[in-house]
Amino acid sequence: MADRTNWRPGGVADIDGATDVKVSHETIHERSKLAFTAIGYGGAPIGNFNGTFTETEATEMVMQSWDQGVRYFDTAPGYGNGLSEYRLGHALRSYDRSQLVLSTKVGRVLTPALDAPTQNGQYQNIPPLIASYDYSYDGVMRAVEQSMQRMLTDRFDALFIHDCDRFTHGSAQPEYFRQAIVSAFPALESLRAQGVVKAIGFGVNETDVMTEAVKTTDSDLCLLAGRYTLLEQEPLDELLPACAERGIGIVLGGVYNSGVLATGPVKGARFNYGPAPTDVLKKAGRIEEIARRHDVALPAVALQFAFAHPAVVSVCVGARNIGQQQRNAALFEAPIPQQVWEDLRAARLIREDAPIPS
């Protein structure tokens, strides 16, 4: 379903000291003909997620990512009430639009309100806008027009229907999901037919919701966050085989499970936006022990494992600063002995049917 070129991790001996690492590996998604870099730029942090960025800092993050060879950039209206979209769009203005892949999401419409809160969940110091969920046909069209204006573009390469899952909507999820299928997706199909977007699909955090969405629609590309990692491999049962069979590309987000696979099982480690439970810390510790035995960093194993599945076109990673971003690139390039993967399988820490880097 995808043609990968030049992916053979190796060549970075000193991750902590790496200063000029480039990630140039490319995957051509056959269905959409889009060219994805193996690492994508995750735009949530510059929407002031769990902290604030200045305009200059946000621009520097995007520019450094470009200099590393990254050409896939993802954002969403929900990332700081459009702040991430605005910053990313303005930072990318100086680059050739034809050389990058740009995705955002639909499902939220932003309305100006001077008395709107300046904080929304983990997003801080955000614009005075009210975000309302809207999966209607007209709501999607409004959302796309708003995103185009914020990002200074006349088209997107990929659009995802965002957060039509239980984590976001709770008991109301079935109705929001129905609206996404019968109203939002036809709107995206219309935009695809008009050439406004090349690839359409869903961006959610739950495997069963994504599986149902893929079964029900003619999706091209989907973004699955946090569900296919060293700690969670349920998508191997049904979702990823179905995507591989139908040529549906998968962008993976949250491959560190929101923290614990980046930091290891340290005090205060995070798992899926909350404190990591004991069983997760224990499993992460066992994985880290095997990695250390071969002088390999745990997050390098996490990144490269996620990308190894043939349905995956890119691993989208967010970073808090330039140092983290540089380290992520080095981790992706770090050589990992084949014995690491064999030891993880022998210990039943990764599934037998999970593809591994060759």
Active site residue 137: no
- d(C-alpha 331, C-alpha 304), whole Å: 8
Helix and strand numbers (H, E) in the chain are 13, 15
At 208, list the tokens. Answer: 């069963």
Contact 77, 130 (CB under 8 A): no
Separation CA 278–CA 199 (nearest Å) = 40
CA 142 to CA 165: how far, in whole Å?
21
Least Cα distance to 199 among 188, 207, 208, 210 occurs for 188
The string of DSSP codes covering 256-310 is TGGGHHHH-S-TT-EETTEEPPHHHHHHHHHHHHHHHHTT--HHHHHHHHHHTST
Tokens matching residue 246: 């139908």
The catalytically annotated residue of 41, 72, 79, 86 is 79
Judge whether 168 and 161 are in contact, CB under 8 Å. Answer: no
Helices (H), the chain: 55-67, 83-91, 137-151, 166-169, 173-179, 185-194, 207-216, 239-246, 260-263, 278-293, 298-307, 322-333, 338-346
CA–CA gap between residue 291 and residue 13 (Å, rounded): 15
- Tell me the catalytic residues: 79
